[in-house]
Amino acid sequence: MEGSVIKKIFARIISIVIFLLILIALNFVVKYVRFGFLINITNFLNGTAAILIFISIIFLAGEIFKELSFPVNLPAPALFAIGGTFLLSFLFVLFRFFDGIMGIDIFTFFYEFEDLSYLLVISLIVVLGYISIFYNAVRESKPAEKEKAEEKPKEKIKETKSQKSEKLKKKEKKTNNVGLKFKEAFSELGDYLGSLFE
């Protein structure tokens, strides 16, 4: 688990660094190449770079909590819901940006459902996330209960074996005592008969 978390953190840091390097390269290019569309894209990314990095960090935090065991993983769905909300907000900003630079209202239809889409995204992520967490917690607890249930008969078997061995030992002691008594009786009888013939 620790290895997968470290890999995710490392991969996310690399992706953020690559994004920043691309952004630096674009800002360098637009100084010498005066192309309107490229300038607009670069300005848009400059204005939204902070929110994109924030969204990436929120999702990373959610993934880290998701890897942890119950109940420490409970904040994961809430973090994914926050990240999903900011990502959806970024998408609507991106739609408006393309509508603005193209001068055509391509994404107007989606704006009518903007408020509803936020509600749906938050609800689905939170509900499905917690269902998944509780389902996995119940599934993981079942093998532990089975192991405990299997251990109890083993203990009983051990107890019955020990009880049987103790009973056998007691029987052996009783038979040995009976044999000794018979031996003593026969020796006394022999001595008595020997005294009669003397």
From first to last of its 198 residues, what are the pLDDT tens digits of the chain?
Answer: 667 788 888 999 999 999 999 999 999 999 888 888 888 999 999 999 999 999 999 999 999 998 888 888 899 999 999 999 999 999 999 988 988 888 777 878 788 888 899 999 999 999 999 999 999 888 888 765 555 555 655 555 555 656 666 666 665 555 555 455 545 655 554 554 455 445
As a whole number of angstroms, the distance between CA 138 and CA 131 comes to 11
- As given in the structure block, the two tokens for residue 127 are 């509900």
Contact 122, 97 (CB under 8 A): no
| Helix 2-29, helix 36-67: angle, nearest 10 | 170
Burial class (CB in 10 A: 0-12, 13-18, 19+), 80: buried
Closest alpha carbon to 26 in 53, 51, 44, 50: 44
Is the whole model's pTM more than 0.85, yes or no? Answer: no
